[in-house]
Amino acid sequence: MRVVKKLLISLFLAAAFITGPVFNSSAQSIKLLGSNTLNGAINGVLLGGATMALKNSEDLAPVRVGLGGGTLYGIGIGIYDITQVDAGQQFYISGTFNDGTNSSVIVLLDTIYGAAGGAIIASSIALVGQNPLLDALQYGSGVGAWAGFGFGLIDTFVFATGPNYGQQTSISQQDVGGLITYSNKSESLQVGMLKPDMIEQKTMNSQSVTVTHRPAINIVQLQLGF
């Protein structure tokens, strides 16, 4: 488990520094590739955990395979997204339940929704049938995660619309950003996670003013519109 945690932390930090501020079309492509790679890795870990739950096993092999396979999957999705837009253009996709600035976030969120929905349905059935609740949560979330992942793939490549150039103006003007972004269709709710940033600090003395800059990462940003 410690090895997996170290790998995840390294992946988060690498992706955060790789996908910094966008200054040109090349940086935009790198950001699109990096965000998809990160989403794919997280999705792979979730599916690995779901497999462990279904097998009722403590063997971490599915998580390890999921991390590696999910990373490769994310790279593939990133390359696909890059080919769908002109150089330097903002990618935007609208799925059945979610909107996003890359394809893999649609699949990732559908996977999470599936796991949550499966856990709720299974626990409800367990309560009615007076069966063990923890077992129901375990197997329900496992089945739901895989079902959500399958639906997410169909949602992304069949049902979703995009890239939507008509939405680029509103996307570029919003303050919320990061490697993982989400907004509903009306854009009244916007969430951004892991956004690279720069902090400016001024130090004053009797003779001069010194300005220093330090890199930082905004973990979570939330914007609500009413």
| pLDDT over 50 at 122, yes or no | yes
Q: Give per-residue pLDDT as tens, 192-219.
A: 777 777 776 666 666 776 777 777 776 7
Q: What is the reported pTM?
A: 0.61
Element holding 136 (H helix, E strand): helix 133-154
Per-residue confidence at 168, pLDDT binned at 50, 70, 90? very low
CB atoms within 10 A of CB 84: 13
| pLDDT over 70 at 95, yes or no | yes
Per-residue confidence at 49, pLDDT binned at 50, 70, 90? very high
pLDDT score at 25: 52
* 94 alpha carbon, distance to own chain's centre: 15
pLDDT score at 172: 44
Three-class SS of residue 194? strand
Three-class SS of residue 65? helix
Q: Could you tell me the two tokens for 165? A: 């150039």
Q: Backbone phi, then psi, for 142, in 5-degree steps?
A: -65, -50
Place of tokens 């903002």: 90
For residues 164-184, average pLDDT: 57
pLDDT score at 24: 45
Per-residue confidence at 97, pLDDT binned at 50, 70, 90? confident
Q: Give per-residue pLDDT as tens, 126-146.
A: 999 888 888 899 999 999 999
Q: What is the mean pLDDT of the chain?
A: 78
Q: Backbone phi, then psi, for 56, in 5-degree steps?
A: 55, 45
CB 42 within 8 A of CB 64: no
Q: Rounded CA gap, 146 and 115, in Å?
A: 8
pLDDT score at 101: 85
